[in-house]
Structure 1
Amino acid sequence: MSKAVNNMGMSIVEPQERIKHLSHYGNLIEVDRNMPVTRYYRSGTEMLRMANVYLNEGNHENAFILYLRYMTLFIEKIRQHPDYPSIKSEVKAINKRIKDEIMPTTEKLRAKLLSHYQREYEQFLANKEAERARELERERQRQKELANREAAGSTVPSLIPANLHVQIDVNNQPTAPDLTLLDQVVYPNDFPTGANRTNLPNSGLLLPTGDTNVDKTANAHATKPIFDRSQKPQYNRSDSLLAGSLRTVNVPGDTMDVFLKLAQANTSKNIETCGVLAGHLAHNQLYITHIITPQQQGTPDSCNTMHEEQIFDVQDQMQLITLGWIHTHPSQTAFLSSVDLHTHMSYQMMMPEAIAIVCAPKYNATGFFILTPHYGLDYIAQCRQTGFHPHPNDPPLFMEAQHIKMDNNSKVKVIDLRR
């Protein structure tokens, strides 16, 4: 059997099941045939960059997932892309690195995680068995006390005071009792106040018996278990790679002001300006640190980057990862046009947390947007139209980003490649 059942009717995932759980997330990557193959090559570079950060920080689960994802992409999935022959030489070098470095590192992580999970699981079972023995002993004591009371002929004491009685008058008619004596009656509290109830975190290890699907969002509510929960094996459910949620993106408070100054010359001519948002990963949060302004061509309602290889060179030199993009709407409000939706799709496909910042100086407005993860992203990925074209508005294709955090204590840096 791969699972044990605790006293709440829940299943505790055993070590091998936990490894399978991680491996499942490691395989969650697909290749869009219409996405430029070079984007996947870049995505792989940034994937390794993040995996190495996780490894150095001791977050072995996330590192394991990203190394697996990297291998899945370049050993298996990238071959499905029609332009695969054009990067065959690069992939050949990547596969050599996988064989020499990444695969051995991943296997060491697998062994380390398995050993750690095994220790946690054994400790959990030992604690549970000890608590079961204590509960049996408490039950024996209760039965013994009950037997002693019965043997002594003890009875349940009356809750009615002895001096509360009904008097009979001379005409044999009952008279009303002295109601002031009711203040002396003690009433038992048969209903718990709820203070002994608690919310159980959705750890990812406690699964409903017979159901292997992990609920990613809901918190379970149940009576607090008797055993020591501090010893229960658990996943870090705040972790997006395991839970499917988005990591927080920290945005320097001056980002919009700095970018609007960069774009001022174009804005005065009613021309859009765009830039790439780049930064780093630390402690499972993403931090925007740079705006990279590439060479570009703009119009009143569009902006196209040029010479992307220059952006990649800068990012490689500074070990930066792509976290989204920023652009102006000189004379319009803050929203994502049909062209913007397709532009952002390429960012969000590579990095689920990638954001699109739209600055609308005429209306003094800023929007922080993402494609809706469960509809808009897939819809735009499958849309083959180019240029400005209509899209349905219901269900919505994009939404305000909920995973950003403004950081007024940090300042954004600029790398302007237009000069």
Structure 2
Amino acid sequence: MSKAVNNMSMGDVEPQERMKHLSHCGNLIEVDKNMPVTRYYRSGTEMLRMANVYLREGNHENAFILYLRYMTLFIEKIRQHPDYGSVKAEVRDINRKIKDEIMPTTEKLRAKLLTHYQREYEQFLASKEAERVKELERERERERERQRQKEREKAGSSAIPSLIPANLHVLIDEGNQPSAPDLGLLDQVVYPNDFPTGANRSLPGSGLLLPAASEAAADKTTNSKPSFDRNQKPSYNRTDSLLAGSLRLVYVPGDTMEVFLKLALANTSKNIETCGVLAGHLSQNQLYITHIITPQQQGTPDSCNTMHEEQIFDVQDQMQLITLGWIHTHPTQTAFLSSVDLHTHCSYQIMMPEALAIVCAPKYNTTGFFILTPHYGLDYIAQCRQSGFHPHPNDPPLFMEAQHIRMDNQAKIKVIDLRR
């Protein structure tokens, strides 16, 4: 349901362009004609649930995207499903909800976001103009400093006296001893050892820097960097996954696998698989698994089928829970996704890109946290029309270890066992 999109969330982008990008994200939903149409109506319910959370938390961009996605699905895309005609009652209810609630809310969000984007853009332009003015002033100051340096160099070269008296050669040529006044002239000769050392060398009594020191001072002035950071500009740095196209973090209670293995123990001892639905909630753009819902089911050594899914939906609606994946055992095998598992998980991941498939392998004391590879496996399995156990190519890989999970050892999983 979600594909990677570019994050155009900087204040230097024109407001209308940013709104166009949000609308593009809101249209990123497709209908798989082989997926039960009821799954889409179920997904729509959870979509609204998440949109309302985003709205309450003030995350207006993600709320806008989900409301728009909901309308795109049920006004336009769902009509392409071959079983669309069998859900007339749901269609009437949804159309009424869209007209009375969702559309007005979405339009209010559109206006609010546009105002926000306009304000950010104006701040960016003002900042850019202020920086341009400062840069011009810095350039003028550099030019004035260059002129002052030229004047200092010119004044310095004309003020340094000759080191040899002008009439010294006359005195030598005539073989005469210099008179007292002439010796006084020699006293003005400055020999190399008379120069002071250090950074601030100058001719005695002249107040002028020697050329080397003067040039070093000039270099220090002209090469100094301005203290103002020219790269600063206002931005709206959001990392919301719906906008950026990345997966949101999913937090898993640390005792999830232990608790599930205990409730599956009777089946495991008979070499029968057990499965459950992972459910939870959204908060601050992160997903939290809080419940395992164990539906009525029929298991075999290598498969597990759920029954009476409407009972799961009733529980989720009562507790406002979102479907975040599923968990099942491999009583005698290692932790991996079989061909049947791949198809089962596809239906979860199409509806929720972050959905996890947790596989517990008690015989090997291992656990796998899997997803279909987003850029290959998900599309490949969605287009595969075979059923039951059948071979799939292994390269490129169809599934991978989930990278977007975090174990939360402080949280405790809750179980709702509908088998009883």
Task: Give the shorter-chain TM-score range.
Answer: 0.7 to 0.9
State the alpha-carbon separation in 2 of the partners of residues 156 and 414 from structure 1. 90
Matched ranges for 1:273-292 at <5 A: 273-292=274-293
Provide closer, same or farther for how the CA distance between residues 110 and 11 of structure 1 changes in structure 2, counting only shifts above 3 A.
Answer: closer
Asked whether the 8 Å contact 2:11–2:117 carries over to 1, the reply is no
| Partner residue in 2 for 1:16 | 16
SS of the residue corresponding to residue 12 of structure 2 reads strand
| Partner residue in 2 for 1:338 | 339
Q: Do structure 1's residue 28 and structure 2's residue 32 form an aligned pair?
A: no
Asked whether the 8 Å contact 1:128–1:227 carries over to 2, the reply is no
Deviation string, structure 1 residues 200-237 (Cα, Å, up to 9, x no partner): xxxxxxxxxxxxxxxxxxxxxxxx951533xx13241x
State the alpha-carbon separation in 2 of the partners of residues 273 and 154 from structure 1. 93
SS of the residue corresponding to residue 257 of structure 2 reads helix
Q: How many residues align?
A: 350
Give 1:275 shift.
0.1
Provide closer, same or farther for how the CA distance between residues 260 and 137 of structure 1 changes in structure 2, counting only shifts above 3 A.
Answer: same
Runs of 4+ with >6 A deviation: 182-186
Give 1:149 shift.
1.8
SS of the residue corresponding to residue 327 of structure 1 reads strand
State the alpha-carbon separation in 1 of the partners of residues 155 and 50 from structure 2. 71
| Partner residue in 2 for 1:409 | 410
| Partner residue in 2 for 1:169 | none
| Partner residue in 1 for 2:126 | 126
Provide closer, same or farther for how the CA distance between residues 148 and 27 of structure 1 changes in structure 2, counting only shifts above 3 A.
Answer: same
Q: After alignment, is 342-351 or 138-147 more displaced?
A: 138-147
Asked whether the 8 Å contact 2:11–2:120 carries over to 1, the reply is no
Asked whether the 8 Å contact 1:277–1:291 carries over to 2, the reply is yes
Q: Do structure 1's residue 267 and structure 2's residue 268 form an aligned pair?
A: yes
Provide closer, same or farther for how the CA distance between residues 302 and 53 of structure 1 changes in structure 2, counting only shifts above 3 A.
Answer: same
Asked whether the 8 Å contact 1:49–1:319 carries over to 2, the reply is yes
Q: Do structure 1's residue 234 and structure 2's residue 270 form an aligned pair?
A: no
Q: Do structure 1's residue 110 and structure 2's residue 114 form an aligned pair?
A: no
State the alpha-carbon separation in 2 of the partners of residues 333 and 56 from structure 1. 43
Matched ranges for 1:131-146 at <5 A: 131-146=131-146
Provide closer, same or farther for how the CA distance between residues 156 and 57 of structure 1 changes in structure 2, counting only shifts above 3 A.
Answer: farther
Asked whether the 8 Å contact 1:253–1:407 carries over to 2, the reply is yes
State the alpha-carbon separation in 2 of the partners of residues 352 and 155 from structure 1. 75
Asked whether the 8 Å contact 2:328–2:359 carries over to 1, the reply is yes
The structure that is helix-richer by fraction is 2
Give 1:276 shift.
0.1
State the alpha-carbon separation in 2 of the partners of residues 339 and 155 from structure 1. 91
State the alpha-carbon separation in 1 of the partners of residues 367 and 390 from structure 2. 23
| Partner residue in 1 for 2:188 | none
Unaligned runs of 5+ in 1: 1-9, 158-181, 191-195, 197-223
Give 1:285 shift.
0.2
**Partner AA of 1:387 in structure 2:** G
Give 1:128 shift.
1.0
| Partner residue in 2 for 1:92 | 92
Which structure carries more relative contact order (alpha carbon 8 Å, separation 6+)?
Answer: 2
Deviation string, structure 1 residues 334-392 (Cα, Å, up to 9, x no partner): 00000000000000000000000000000000000000000000000000000000000
Give 1:147 shift.
1.1
Provide closer, same or farther for how the CA distance between residues 139 and 156 of structure 1 changes in structure 2, counting only shifts above 3 A.
Answer: farther
Give 1:152 shift.
3.2
| Partner residue in 1 for 2:327 | 326
Provide closer, same or farther for how the CA distance between residues 155 and 388 of structure 1 changes in structure 2, counting only shifts above 3 A.
Answer: farther
**Partner AA of 1:267 in structure 2:** T
State the alpha-carbon separation in 1 of the partners of residues 110 and 271 from structure 2. 55
Asked whether the 8 Å contact 1:33–1:81 carries over to 2, the reply is yes
**Partner AA of 1:340 in structure 2:** D
Deviation string, structure 1 residues 118-138 (Cα, Å, up to 9, x no partner): 111101110110111011011
Give 1:156 shift.
11
State the alpha-carbon separation in 1 of the partners of residues 266 and 63 from structure 2. 44
Provide closer, same or farther for how the CA distance between residues 155 and 293 of structure 1 changes in structure 2, counting only shifts above 3 A.
Answer: farther
| Partner residue in 1 for 2:184 | none
State the alpha-carbon separation in 2 of the partners of residues 93 and 53 from structure 1. 22
**Partner AA of 2:408 in structure 1:** D
Asked whether the 8 Å contact 1:117–1:233 carries over to 2, the reply is no
State the alpha-carbon separation in 2 of the partners of residues 373 and 152 from structure 1. 68
SS of the residue corresponding to residue 292 of structure 2 reads strand
| Partner residue in 1 for 2:176 | none
C-alpha RMSD of the superposition: 2.3
SS of the residue corresponding to residue 406 of structure 1 reads strand
Q: After alignment, is 286-295 or 129-138 more displaced?
A: 129-138
Task: Give identity over the alignment, percent.
Answer: 81
Give 1:400 shift.
0.1
| Partner residue in 2 for 1:38 | 38
State the alpha-carbon separation in 1 of the partners of residues 18 and 276 from structure 2. 41
Provide closer, same or farther for how the CA distance between residues 149 and 249 of structure 1 changes in structure 2, counting only shifts above 3 A.
Answer: same
**Partner AA of 1:366 in structure 2:** T
Asked whether the 8 Å contact 2:12–2:124 carries over to 1, the reply is no
**Partner AA of 1:274 in structure 2:** C
SS of the residue corresponding to residue 272 of structure 1 reads coil
